[in-house]
Amino acid sequence: MKFKVNDSCISCGMCAGSCPEVFHMADSGMAEAIPDDVAPEVEESAIDAMNNCPAGAIEEA
Ligand code: SF4
């Protein structure tokens, strides 16, 4: 399972805070997801971050 962040990101930082294994804040100020498949043990936390993103900016890639 892979994730990506689209242009709707409002830079709130929540995903990077709740699932730092997958998301980080890029120099642009917007969040970025790791390009690789996420490890099975962090999948649930990444899905939670996707579902809780206030901008709906996280998608399955
Ligand atoms: S939770 Fe959503 S809006 Fe907030 S930084 Fe992550 S992708 Fe951007």
Structural domain spans, the chain: 3-60
**Distance, CA 17 to ligand 1 centroid (Å)?**
10
Q: Which of 58, 59, 60 to mutate to test the pocket of ligand 1 (most atoms within 8 A of CB)?
A: 58
Per-residue confidence band for 17, with pLDDT thresholds at 50, 70 and 90? very high
pLDDT of residue 57: 98
Q: Which CATH number fits domain 3-60: 3.30.70.20, 1.10.150.130, 3.40.50.300, 3.40.50.720?
A: 3.30.70.20
What is residue 5's predicted lDDT score, i.e. its pLDDT? 98
**Cβ pair 13, 29 in contact under 8 A:** no
CB within 8 A of 29, min separation 6: which ones? Answer: 11
Q: Which helix (H) or strand (E) holds 50?
A: helix 43-52
Cα separation, 30 vs 6, in Å, equals 9
